Structure 1
Amino acid sequence: MIVSRPTLNLQSLKTSAAVHILLFQAVCYLLLTVPLFPNRLLFEKTACIHLYIAEGEWWRLLTSLWIHTDFSHLFANSMTFLLFGLLLEAERSRSDLLLVYLSSGIIANLFCFFITPLTYIHVGASGAVFGTAGAVFAGRWRKERFHRLSLPALLVIFSFIITAFQENENVYTHIFGFLWGMVCGWAARK
């Protein structure tokens, strides 16, 4: 069976959901770093603070996906997401990418909430990014195109190994985001 490879061009990048997600994250990062805005208040109202989630502030499971602690955190998430987000969007659809990204981030944060102490605080899109990687991984495995996944697969494995040994990394969101993304990839009908 011959399977055509999805292609990217400038026009597809302009309308790409992956690119728009990254642009929105960049704007959120600027809002938190430029001193003209109420940075601390924005962080306090959007971060995944488990004590506040337990008190009913469930929106934090979503809003924390757009907040990053520093530029290297944003950059690492963005570059990984750019690779897997563009792959998933090209192979599936914009709506599938958005669904996988948002649901993976929320599910990963929810599982993290249930297994860590109420004093736990975290931010970032790692659960959503790993979910996107999991969906690509499972989708290609399901379609028996795993041989074309060698570089992305190595990047996921490398990311898991690196984050397991880094301080201040939320390995729970990485694991649960990836697992939920795999569920989404396996459930895909395309």
Structure 2
Amino acid sequence: MFIRTESFKEFIRFYPIVTWIIAINIVLYLLTVLPILPSGWLMNLFAGVNLNIVMGEYWRLVTPIFMHNGFAHLLFNSFSLVLFGPALERLIGKVRFLLVYFISGIGANVATLILEPLTYMHVGASGAIFGLFGFFTSIIVFRRDLLSRQNTQLVLTITIIGIVMTFMQANINVTAHLFGLLAGFLIGAATIKNKTSGFSTIKTGNWKPARQRFNGIPLKTLLVWGGIVLLAILGLIFR
């Protein structure tokens, strides 16, 4: 499910939304490093600066999702999209995938605006990508049958590692990571609970949502999420 075996042309054809997002990220990064535009102009225009947003530049709630500060930043986020994006785009469809990605990213930026100082500046797709992790986690909680045990363990492991690294690395927008993850999870939970139709699953045929109850969640899942919440709380306290 998360192993890519397609050719480049097949990848573009099968996963157009993921392809376009990565392409936009790369183009904007190149425009920031190549001597095509005035130095720093694009970053100054599109970066998320809370003070500018409060002054009315509301596009900065969206544009930071596509901007990256350095090649390593771009590479990590692009790799994450290539690894996790295609499976979810195929699972929930192009339009829903786009909505999950943007709502999570924008929600992360709104949370950053509310919780961080006015002078705070941020860029990167991490909030939106953590939204994908959150959506996958909601599938694990409410529709575990849609993922194999191996894929479930992979998603949970990567999510936990991502949260831990959020608090260990410098210059990380912790607020965006946590609220992007939360937004993706809530979107997934609401979608499944509302019995939304039209999903096509990789594993079991047509999507047939069923009503789930929290008391039916396995102990292992509760322990994993308890640990995630604990890490999040400790990270915020000792930031």
Distance in 2, matches of 1:126 and 1:63, equals 13
Distance in 1, matches of 2:139 and 2:39, equals 39
What is the percentage of aligned positions where both structures have the same residue?
Answer: 35
Distance in 2, matches of 1:187 and 1:38, equals 44
1:13 matches 2:11: yes
Q: For 1:112, give the aligned amino acid.
A: T
Gaps of 5+ in 1: none
Number of the residue aligned with 1:24: 24
Number of residue pairs the alignment of both structures matches: 186
Distance in 2, matches of 1:39 and 1:149, equals 44
Q: For 1:30, give the aligned amino acid.
A: L
Distance in 2, matches of 1:164 and 1:184, equals 24
Q: How does 1:48-59 map to 2 (within 5 A)?
A: 48-59=48-59
Q: How does 1:1-190 map to 2 (within 5 A)?
A: 9-10=6-7, 12-15=10-13, 16=15, 17-145=17-145, 147=149, 148-188=151-191, 189=196, 190=199
Distance in 1, matches of 2:189 and 2:114, equals 25
TM-score, structure 1 length as denominator? Answer: 0.91
SS of 1:98's partner is: helix
Gaps of 5+ in 2: 200-239
Shift in Å at residue 39 of structure 1? 3.8
Distance in 2, matches of 1:67 and 1:39, equals 15
Distance in 2, matches of 1:9 and 1:95, equals 22
Name the structure, 1 or 2, with higher relative contact order (CA <8 Å, separation 6+).
Answer: 1
Rg larger in structure: 2
- Does the aligned pair in 2 maintain the 1:105–1:177 contact within 8 Å? yes
Shift in Å at residue 67 of structure 1? 0.7
SS of 2:119's partner is: coil
Shift in Å at residue 12 of structure 1? 5.0
The 1:84–1:46 alpha-carbon spacing in structure 2 relative to 1, beyond 3 Å, is same
TM-score, structure 2 length as denominator? Answer: 0.73
Shift in Å at residue 141 of structure 1? 2.4
- Does the aligned pair in 2 maintain the 1:8–1:90 contact within 8 Å? no
Moved over 6 A (4+): 5-8
